[in-house]
Structure 1
């Protein structure tokens, strides 16, 4: 695996958050945000209200821009995000996880923690010159972001649904494409 656990976790969460804006939108309620928080093992304070949901939903577009930008453009975005949040990286250990970086207080807003953790993960991506690990879904009808953590860099689709839809379409095209001669 190309990145440390905390970097991968932050990237996976950021991609999931960005892709939640694809149709159908899957982040429309506080309960959905609660599930996202639990699924991605976030820690820290929460307000569990509509304002928090709105703040996290508002992150989707800027994070999409970051995750799909060029390496040099990503540097400027990361630096701005860290500066705006007053990020101060610190090593922490909690919840059974070994030492890893946090750059905000546990009391910072959930949206701020997401933004800073994503920016910190992107520091690793940029420094390792691994921006090619991030791409758009190969399904022409989808705008999802793909995070390819595979060893051979073969991931092309943002979800199993997109991969399956394209595999079925390719199969049907081969079947109707005159591949059979009797």
Structure 2
């Protein structure tokens, strides 16, 4: 049972931003709003650059060769992005838990949210629940939020293409070509 859903949405947002990087501060703001984040401050070029740099570091967590390395890399990110947990009702929607300081720019919010969300995701679902697509010629990142924990592809389209490729590779040549 997953009591704290805090990890699911942040890792999905991180994977989405890595796979399709926003090209402008406005695009970053829109994507964060679409993901349910409350954007309290204007979003500028500094936020965009800081989020991109953080996501580059976060992909090091995704690409870690083993759980111990993954944990060590994530701990480095957490040390620089999270604060002590605190209760807040900053937007008047009800009390909830934050793992960040109040009144942060969007880049700081994304760092804290994705860092803590990744830690909760990995400890709650399994240390192997982040990865790269197994399809040939695809290197997209995915966060496995499936019930079974057996995801290997970034999308059903990649899974289907790879299944067709494997089938054709094992099938005898067709008559006439």
TM-score, structure 2 length as denominator?
Answer: 0.78
Alignment of 1:82 with 2:67, yes or no, is no
Q: How many residues align?
A: 174
Alignment of 1:101 with 2:107, yes or no, is no
Q: For residue 13 of structure 2, what is the aligned residue in structure 1?
A: 13
Q: Which runs of 5+ in 2 are unaligned?
A: none
Q: How far has the Cα of 1:97 moved from its partner?
A: 7.1
Cα distance in structure 2, aligned partners of 1:163 and 1:43: 34
Asked whether the equivalents of residues 67 and 128 of structure 2 are also in contact (C-alpha less than 8 Å), the reply is no
Q: For residue 152 of structure 1, what is the aligned residue in structure 2?
A: 148
Cα distance in structure 2, aligned partners of 1:2 and 1:135: 20
CA RMSD of aligned residues (A): 3.0
CA-to-aligned-CA distance 1:80-126 (integer Å, 9 cap, x gap):
33332361211345779776431113421212211211221233244
Q: For residue 55 of structure 1, what is the aligned residue in structure 2?
A: 50
SS in 2 for 1:131: coil
Cα distance in structure 1, aligned partners of 2:55 and 2:86: 26
Q: For residue 59 of structure 2, what is the aligned residue in structure 1?
A: 64
Select 1:36's aligned residue among 7, 26, 31.
Answer: 31
CA-to-aligned-CA distance 1:7-59 (integer Å, 9 cap, x gap):
11111112212222xxxxx4212332123112211124332322222221222
Cα distance in structure 2, aligned partners of 1:78 and 1:89: 17
Alignment map for 1:131-142 (pairs within 5 Å): 131-142=127-138
Alignment of 1:178 with 2:172, yes or no, is yes
Cα distance in structure 1, aligned partners of 2:63 and 2:151: 16
Q: Which runs of 5+ in 1 are unaligned?
A: 21-25
Q: For residue 23 of structure 1, what is the aligned residue in structure 2?
A: none
